[in-house]
């Protein structure tokens, strides 16, 4: 009997805790917050959870420069990665390189800003509970895992940690039935897409015999870690890639899979929508870039880039044109976020090209993510303020005369909206310009068409943002707003009576976002060193 | 892009086939609808109303909790089997994992998810709910066990007209 | 007749298709859940079949993680559905259409 248990020692991986710090801080921050508030009633006081979350985000952010310095100081970077500094962690489950750090930074910033915005929101709505913040932190840790996963199974785990927490957050406004409806729709469609994504992983695994990205990439060029070459069934790989593209396409709300976005954005609590458009999108694009460029970047790049091309073009067109007919600002912004995802896909299309253009494409997407994180969080912070108690005051009519009532807020909002338009001297201009320029550099007919479509989309999209700007600077409504899309008649009356309360912390978020939008628009080369390093890290 | 031509062809063929079939069957087939024909097909007696399914939400909660702790075993079992080979690394890993699962237990306790009877939150907050009405007292009051003295005192109180107004409201829970 | 890997893959594909079809046509939220579970477990069959044919353990480890993710999804989904059904006890998915546009 004893022989059953006498086993040879398994070789166990060495854990390099230091490089794991961002993930651990975010995840343990969430767990610790829940534990402390469970056992110590003192912790349940006002603002404490928000402060805790901000501190956790700042701590995670503070670790990044040290990790970057340690990475650059590595004597022997991992071989076969284009000579770029990278560290494989937990036996090739995760990889930390400059790309990981860039994405982690953006996610941490999103967590900090959303937590600040959430504080004012929860106080107004009367839900002072730590769960919101804990879920935010855990979701963010999933995002970092997704962007740094080196193994497709870990990619799936990261994707699910990221999404499941957000499903709950979407449904957490217990007094609005729209919120639960949004949570349910998001959940069902999200679960469908993750099942499809998982099926794609299974196909790729079956074809290549490996779930690690380097193993997958290696087997396609005829070798893998063990030196064996399973006869790679290329049709199976293609099916797998297509299925995984569907999974990621859902998360970034790309064209055929964007249907959930307007409903979910309209129903979910506004700060959470800010989180979805920033951290969730950043993480999903991070994971998508790593999986597709590192894993499938070699032999199959010419196959999937065509799919990305079509997705990108249609996403931009659908997002821009459908946004025009909306009367609810959250739905409008949902379509605008679909259009933005299309622009980022244009960059991804360019990134799939051979080396030099590919780098321009990657840099363009990463810069777009940076710009859009700040612009979208700022925008939704304003929407959250104007939403008033009950989070239902979201018709575009509600913005009439905002410039007179809240001049500072209106000015900042104007900057943010111009940023989303892509007007010069804002971050949005360079973001859009760079992805379109990268696509034009590909120098193929379809790439020129895509660049043309992107410019058309940008021009059409300008209308929807300017509509809001014009409303803000018009006089206070002549006719009391009758077409409020999503509030019943009796709540409508209540919403009208209540004055706009502007929490100073949320206003600070709006102003910060507006300032960053302007600064990045005037000095677009701030941080370009880190950007270039992050883009180069994806070369394998 | 040429490799996607078959896909396009298949799409066109597929949708064309479906469209032609729909159009042809619409044109060719005779249409004489009656009320019985249009009704959805049901087997057996047509249900008059939805069957009542009143379930305390608590049961869902308990089911969800079960799933959490059920899944813990999925990882504990392989660890237990391979424990000898894994050594200290495995032990530390499983301890971290168990701590995280246990954390959810702490959260549940603090939320009162495992309490039966009146919700803890209601007990603390609502002035409508009597502080003294705990799980034990509720069960005891329903079950008449050890209630004879109370009932006797209630009788005394009722007989004594002056005391009745004072003491009867306090026995509210018992009377209910 | 020998049962080869292909059989399991076909079984998995059929179950997956059944699950996704059910998810799209059924109107009861709870049944939709069961369809999600069916899809995830169909993928598990694929993983195990591939793992066996490749003589590689990674596929079987994946199944553990998928099981856990499925459980987490069920818990979250169930609580959202319970919250919805508390408002409207006989709701079908068609009733969740307050938001349109």
Average pLDDT for C22-49: 88
Instruction: Judge contact between A268 and A276, C-beta under 8 A.
Output: yes
In a domain, C84, yes or no: yes
Counting other chains too, the contacts that A514-519 makes at CB distance below 8 Å and 24 or more residues apart are A514/A378, A514/A411, A514/A412, A514/A413, A514/A415, A514/A416, A514/A419, A516/A374, A516/A427, A517/A371, A517/A374, A517/A375, A517/A378, A517/A415, A517/A416, A517/A419, A517/A426, A517/A427, A517/A428, A518/A415, A518/A425, A518/A426, A518/A427, A519/A427
Task: Please indicate whether, in this complex, the C-beta atoms of C68 and B74 are within 8 angstroms of each other.
Answer: yes
Average pLDDT for C22-32: 83
| Closest residue in A to B87 (Cα–Cα) | A9
Domain count, chain C: 1
Q: Around Cβ A221, how many Cβ atoms within 10 Å?
A: 11
Chains that touch A (3 or more CB pairs under 8 A): B, C
The torsion angles phi and psi of A87, rounded to 5 degrees, stand at -125, 125
Segment (H or E) for A437: helix A427-441
Q: Would you give the DSSP letter of residue A8?
A: P
In the prediction, which pLDDT does B170 show? Answer: 43
Question: For residues A84 and A533, what is the distance between their CA atoms, to the nearest angstrom?
Answer: 8
In the prediction, which pLDDT does A223 show? Answer: 46
Range of C34's domain?
5-90
CA distance B110 to chain A (A): 5
In a domain, C35, yes or no: yes
In a domain, C98, yes or no: no
Instruction: Judge contact between A311 and A345, C-beta under 8 A.
Output: yes
In the prediction, which pLDDT does A218 show? Answer: 77
In the prediction, which pLDDT does B24 show? Answer: 92
pLDDT top residue among B21 and A485: B21
Cα first-last separation, chain A: 49
Q: Around Cβ A234, how many Cβ atoms within 10 Å?
A: 13
Q: Is the pLDDT of residue C14 over 90?
A: yes
Token pair, residue A31, equals 């767990």
Question: For residues A363 and A371, what is the distance between their CA atoms, to the nearest angstrom?
Answer: 12
Q: Which chain A residues are within 8 Å of B84, Cβ to Cβ?
A: 5-7
In the prediction, which pLDDT does C99 show? Answer: 63
Per-residue pLDDT reduced to its tens digit, B141-166: 555 555 555 556 666 666 665 444 44
| Closest residue in A to B81 (Cα–Cα) | A5
In the prediction, which pLDDT does A355 show? Answer: 67
In a domain, C13, yes or no: yes
* A126 in reach of chain B (CB within 8 A): no
| Closest residue in C to B62 (Cα–Cα) | C75
Segment (H or E) for B91: helix B83-111
In the prediction, which pLDDT does A174 show? Answer: 81
- Write the DSSP string, B35-53: HHHHSPP--SSPPSSPPP-
Task: Please indicate whether, in this complex, the C-beta atoms of A10 and B86 are within 8 angstroms of each other.
Answer: yes
Chains that touch C (3 or more CB pairs under 8 A): A, B
In the prediction, which pLDDT does A272 show? Answer: 93
Test the A interface: residue of B78, B79, B106, B107 with most A CBs within 10 Å: B107
In a domain, C73, yes or no: yes
Question: For residues C47 and C57, what is the distance between their CA atoms, to the nearest angstrom?
Answer: 10
Q: Which of A351, A455, A191, A533 is nearest to C78 (CA)?
A: A191
In the prediction, which pLDDT does B176 show? Answer: 37
**Positive or negative CA dihedral for A151, A152, A153, A155?**
positive
pLDDT top residue among B82 and B21: B21
Instruction: Using CB atoms, pick whichever of B84, B100, B107 lies closest to residue A7.
Output: B84
Domain containing residue C40: CATH number: 1.10.287.3510
- Which of A 236-295 lie inside 8 A of C, CB atoms? 262-263, 266-267
Per-residue pLDDT reduced to its tens digit, B91-117: 888 999 889 888 888 888 887 777 766
Q: Which chain C residues are within 8 Å of A325, Cβ to Cβ?
A: 101
Q: Which chain A residues are within 8 Å of B87, Cβ to Cβ?
A: 9-10, 12
Give me the total of CB pairs closer than 8 Å, taking one residue from chain A and one from chain C: 126
Q: Which chain B residues are within 8 Å of A9, Cβ to Cβ?
A: 85-87
Q: Which of A168, A113, A107 is nearest to A141 (CA)?
A: A107
Question: Over chain B, what is the mean pLDDT?
Answer: 71
CA distance C34 to chain A (A): 11
* B112 in reach of chain A (CB within 8 A): no
Q: Which chain C residues are within 8 Å of B107, Cβ to Cβ?
A: none
Query: Where do we find the tokens 């997002």?
Result: A319
Q: Would you give the DSSP letter of residue A10?
A: P
CA distance C79 to chain A (A): 9
Instruction: Using CB atoms, pick whichever of A6, A38, A306 lies closest to residue B4.
Output: A306
Q: Is A507 helix (H, G, I), strand (E, B) or coil?
A: helix
Q: Print pLDDT tens along chain A (540 aa).
A: 444 555 566 777 777 888 889 999 999 999 999 989 888 877 777 788 899 999 999 999 999 989 888 888 776 655 445 556 777 777 778 888 889 999 999 999 999 999 999 998 888 888 878 889 999 999 999 999 999 998 999 999 999 999 999 999 999 888 888 888 888 889 999 999 999 999 999 999 988 888 888 888 877 765 444 544 555 677 788 889 999 999 999 999 888 888 889 989 998 999 999 999 999 999 999 999 999 988 887 777 878 888 899 999 999 998 988 888 888 889 999 999 999 999 999 999 888 887 677 788 888 999 999 999 999 999 999 999 888 887 778 888 888 888 888 888 899 999 999 999 888 888 889 999 999 988 888 878 888 888 888 889 888 888 888 888 888 888 665 444 444 444 444 454 444 545 678 888 889 999 999 999 999 888 888 878 788 887 877 765
* A127 in reach of chain C (CB within 8 A): no
CA angle, A23 then A24 then A29, to 5°? 105
Q: Is the pLDDT of residue B35 over 90?
A: no
User: How long a stretch of residues is chain C?
Assistant: 101
Task: Please indicate whether, in this complex, the C-beta atoms of A7 and B82 are within 8 angstroms of each other.
Answer: yes
Q: Is the pLDDT of residue B128 over 70?
A: no
Give me the total of CB pairs closer than 8 Å, taking one residue from chain A and one from chain B: 38
Chains that touch B (3 or more CB pairs under 8 A): A, C
Q: Is the pLDDT of residue B137 over 70?
A: no
Q: Around Cβ B139, how many Cβ atoms within 10 Å?
A: 12
- Indicate the domain borders of chain B: 57-111, 130-175
| Closest residue in A to B100 (Cα–Cα) | A31
- Please list, residue by residue across A177-211, b when 16 or more beta carbons sit within 10 angstroms of its beta carbon and e when fewer do: bbbbbbbbbbbbbbbbbbbbbbbbbbbbbbbbbbb
| Closest residue in A to B3 (Cα–Cα) | A303
Question: For residues A339 and A320, what is the distance between their CA atoms, to the nearest angstrom?
Answer: 6
């Amino acid at each position: 009997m004893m022989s059953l248990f006498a086993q040879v020692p398994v070789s166990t991986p060495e854990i390099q805790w230091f490089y794991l710090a961002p993930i651990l801080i975010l995840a343990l921050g969430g767990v610790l917050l829940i534990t402390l508030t469970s056992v110590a009633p003192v912790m349940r006081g006002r603002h404490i959870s928000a402060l805790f979350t901000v501190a956790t985000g700042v701590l995670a952010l503070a670790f990044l420069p040290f990790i970057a310095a340690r990475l650059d100081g590595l004597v022997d970077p991992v071989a076969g990665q284009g000579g770029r500094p990278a560290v494989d962690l937990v036996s090739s489950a995760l990889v930390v390189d400059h790309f990981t750090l860039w994405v982690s930074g953006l996610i941490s910033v999103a967590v900090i800003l959303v937590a600040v915005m959430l504080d004012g929101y929860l106080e107004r709505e009367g839900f002072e509970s730590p769960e919101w913040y804990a879920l935010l932190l855990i979701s963010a840790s999933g995002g970092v895992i997704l962007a740094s996963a080196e193994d497709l199974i870990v990619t799936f785990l990261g994707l699910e940690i990221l999404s499941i927490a957000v499903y709950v957050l979407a449904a957490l406004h217990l007094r609005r039935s729209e919120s639960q409806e949004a949570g349910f729709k998001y959940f069902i469609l999200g679960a469908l897409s993750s099942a499809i994504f998982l099926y794609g992983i299974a196909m790729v695994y079956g074809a290549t015999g490996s779930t690690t990205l380097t193993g997958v990439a290696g087997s396609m060029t005829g070798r893998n870690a063990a030196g064996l070459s399973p006869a790679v069934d290329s049709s199976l790989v293609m099916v797998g890639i297509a299925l995984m593209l569907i999974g990621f396409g859902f998360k970034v709300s790309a064209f055929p899979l964007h249907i959930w976005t307007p409903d979910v954005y309209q129903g979910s609590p506004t700060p959470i929508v800010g989180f979805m458009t920033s951290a969730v999108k950043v993480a999903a694009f991070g994971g998508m870039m790593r999986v597709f460029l590192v894993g499938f970047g070699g032999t199959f790049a010419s196959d999937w880039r065509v799919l990305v091309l079509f997705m990108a073009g249609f996403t931009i067109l659908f997002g821009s044109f459908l946004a025009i007919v909306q009367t609810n600002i959250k739905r409008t912004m949902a379509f605008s976020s679909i259009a933005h995802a299309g622009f980022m896909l244009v960059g991804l299309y360019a990134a799939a090209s051979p080396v030099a253009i590919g780098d321009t494409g990657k840099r363009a997407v990463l810069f777009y993510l940076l710009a859009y994180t700040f612009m979208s969080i700022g925008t939704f912070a304003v929407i959250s303020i104007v939403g008033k108690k009950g989070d239902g005051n979201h018709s575009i009519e509600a913005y009439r005369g905002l410039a007179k009532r809240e001049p500072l807020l209106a000015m900042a909002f104007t900057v943010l909206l111009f940023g989303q338009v892509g007007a010069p001297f804002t971050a949005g201009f360079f973001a859009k310009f760079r992805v379109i320029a990268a696509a034009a550099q590909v120098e193929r007919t379809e790439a020129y068409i895509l660049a043309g479509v992107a410019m058309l989309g940008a021009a059409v999209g300008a209308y929807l943002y300017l509509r809001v700007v014009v409303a803000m600077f018009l006089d206070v409504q002549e006719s009391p707003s009758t077409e409020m899309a999503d509030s019943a008649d009796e709540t409508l009356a209540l919403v009208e009576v209540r004055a706009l309360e502007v929490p100073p912390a949320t206003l600070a978020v709006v102003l910060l976002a507006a300032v960053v939008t302007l600064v990045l628009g005037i000095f677009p080369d701030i941080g370009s060193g880190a950007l270039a390093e992050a883009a180069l890290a994806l070369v394998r | 892009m040429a490799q996607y031509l078959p896909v396009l062809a298949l799409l066109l063929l597929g949708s064309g086939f479906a469209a032609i079939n729909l159009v042809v069957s619409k044109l060719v087939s005779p249409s004489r609808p009656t009320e019985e024909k249009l009704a959805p097909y049901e087997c057996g007696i047509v249900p008059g109303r939805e069957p009542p399914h009143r379930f305390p939400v608590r049961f869902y909660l308990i089911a969800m909790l079960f799933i959490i702790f059920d899944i813990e075993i999925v990882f504990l079992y392989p660890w237990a089997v391979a424990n000898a080979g894994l050594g200290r690394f495995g032990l530390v890993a499983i301890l971290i994992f168990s701590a995280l699962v246990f954390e959810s237990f702490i959260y549940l306790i603090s939320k009162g998810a495992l309490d039966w009877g009146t919700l803890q939150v209601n007990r603390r907050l609502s002035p409508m709910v009597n502080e003294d009405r705990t799980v034990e007292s509720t069960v005891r009051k329903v079950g008449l066990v050890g209630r004879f003295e109370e009932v006797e005192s209630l009788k005394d109180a009722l007989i004594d007209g002056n005391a009745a107004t004072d003491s009867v409201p306090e026995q509210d829970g018992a009377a209910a | 007749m020998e049962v080869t890997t292909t059989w399991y893959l076909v079984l998995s594909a059929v179950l997956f298709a059944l699950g996704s079809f059910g998810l799209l046509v059924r109107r009861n939220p709870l049944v939709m859940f069961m369809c999600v579970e069916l899809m995830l477990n169909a993928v598990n069959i694929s993983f195990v079949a591939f793992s066996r044919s490749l003589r590689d353990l990674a596929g079987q480890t994946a199944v553990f993680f998928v099981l856990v993710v499925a459980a987490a999804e069920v818990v979250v989904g169930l609580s959202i559905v319970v919250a919805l059904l508390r408002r409207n006890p006989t709701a079908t998915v068609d009733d969740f259409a307050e938001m349109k546009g």
